């Protein structure tokens, strides 16, 4: 059945992939692109699909959000400030966008009678793992202003379900990677530096572990949760249930790209001592039990597709591999 779907943050990394997947499934998509004077649609730039409606705007404006959500069946709320290093220098903007923006979307969805809301959380809310794999009952630890803002946003979203019966699910993806990811993330940082001929890679700490999930798997998880009635009122992890260190990820990328690049530590890329999240490993048994979800991509398969996209000259030129991106 064709639905009228809103994707906030549709111009970003995950949002653009999700938008394309929903269009491929035959839905009509209203895609929120953050307003800018260039009228640039981010990663949706050039997409001319007849069922795509791109709307420029800002979730920080509650009046705009009411108009944005009008006549929508399902909302996928991905719009957020997500860069952890930038949250150290501009924390107030994270509260405005992530907490207040989520409040505005939930209020608008409630007033408009939206049938389903998928609110996007992050595994960063767990902080360094106290036990592994991390299930949804794991304590929340705000180890950065970013993670604190997302804990607040998750709480606002769930309060609208509990207080007002908004049919909402909190989707909590672990470390998503793939084509179009921001250069501030570790995998694009490694790939773009190698692709541009670097002999030494500048990175932060190599010891932390992550549960890397290929972007198409993350998007499938979102869609499966939106189609699952039992997921209403639940917080659900989306991950691969596979743990790998940043150092081993570097070695895997080197192998695929046939590179002998060396690693050097860059102090600018190391988080404050009590802010680093040293271990993330997803327990995905809940989403599997609710929807049957299992990742389709291994880390090797996902990295090969990601590398193929980044090494294209047309894509690589969009990235400033010689600069540290907050």
Q: Which residues does residue 236 pair with via DSSP β-bridges, in sequence order?
A: 171
d(CA 71, CA 58): 18
- When pLDDT is averaged across residues 80-89 and rounded to a whole number, the result is 94
Burial class (CB in 10 A: 0-12, 13-18, 19+), 290: middle
CB-CB contact of 129 with 280 (8 Å): yes
Q: Which residues does residue 262 pair with via DSSP β-bridges, in sequence order?
A: 200
Percent of the chain's residues with pLDDT above 90: 87
Q: Which domains does the chain have, with CATH numbers?
A: 4-127+138-176+213-238 (3.40.50.720), 179-210+242-316 (3.90.25.10)
For 144-182, what is each residue's pLDDT tens digit? 999 999 999 999 999 999 999 999 999 999 999 999 999
pLDDT at 115: 98
CA distances in angstroms from 266 to 182, 185, 250, 323, listed in the order given: 19, 15, 15, 12
d(CA 123, CA 284): 12
- When pLDDT is averaged across residues 235-248 and rounded to a whole number, the result is 96
For 262-292, what is each residue's pLDDT tens digit? 988 776 666 677 778 899 999 999 999 999 9
pLDDT band at residue 325 under the 50/70/90 scheme: low
pLDDT at 201: 85
d(CA 233, CA 166): 9
d(CA 33, CA 8): 7
pLDDT at 203: 81
For 104-136, what is each residue's pLDDT tens digit? 999 999 999 999 999 999 999 999 999 999 999
pLDDT at 275: 78
Give the list of residues 6+ apart from residue 239 with CB closer than 8 angstroms, or none.
123, 173, 174, 211, 213, 282, 283, 284, 295
- pLDDT at residue 246 greater than cutoff 80: yes
Directed axis angle between helix 101-112 and helix 62-69, to 10°? 40
């Amino acid at each position: 059945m064709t639905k009228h779907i809103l994707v906030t943050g549709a111009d970003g990394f995950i949002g653009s992939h999700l938008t394309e997947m929903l269009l491929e499934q035959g839905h009509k998509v209203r895609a929120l692109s953050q307003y800018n004077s260039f009228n640039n649609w981010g990663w949706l730039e050039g997409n001319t699909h007849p069922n795509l409606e791109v709307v420029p705007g800002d979730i920080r404006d509650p009046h705009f959000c009411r108009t944005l959500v009008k006549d929508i069946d399902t909302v996928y709320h991905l719009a957020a400030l997500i860069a952890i290093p930038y949250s150290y220098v501009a924390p107030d903007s994270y509260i405005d966008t992530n907490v207040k923006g989520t409040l505005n979307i939930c209020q608008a969805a409630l007033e408009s009678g939206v049938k389903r809301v998928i609110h996007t959380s992050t595994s960063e809310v767990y902080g360094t793992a106290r036990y592994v794999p991390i299930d949804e009952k794991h304590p929340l630890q705000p180890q950065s202003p970013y993670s604190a803002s997302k804990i607040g946003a998750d709480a606002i979203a769930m309060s609208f379900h509990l207080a007002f019966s908004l049919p909402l699910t909190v989707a909590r993806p672990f470390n998503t990677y793939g084509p179009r990811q921001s250069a501030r993330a570790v995998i694009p940082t490694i790939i773009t530096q190698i692709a541009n001929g670097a002999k030494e890679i500048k990175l932060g700490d190599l010891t932390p572990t992550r549960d890397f999930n290929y972007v198409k798997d993350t998007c499938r998880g979102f869609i499966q949760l939106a189609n699952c009635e039992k997921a209403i009122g639940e917080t659900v992890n989306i991950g691969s249930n596979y743990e790998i260190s940043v150092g081993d990820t570097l070695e895997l990328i080197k192998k695929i790209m046939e590179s002998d690049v060396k690693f050097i530590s860059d102090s600018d890329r190391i988080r404050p001592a009590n802010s680093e999240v040293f271990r993330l490993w997803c327990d995905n048994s809940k989403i599997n039990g609710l929807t049957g979800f299992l990742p389709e991509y291994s880390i090797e398969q996902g990295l090969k597709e990601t590398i193929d996209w980044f090494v294209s000259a047309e894509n690589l030129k969009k990235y400033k591999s010689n600069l540290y991106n907050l």
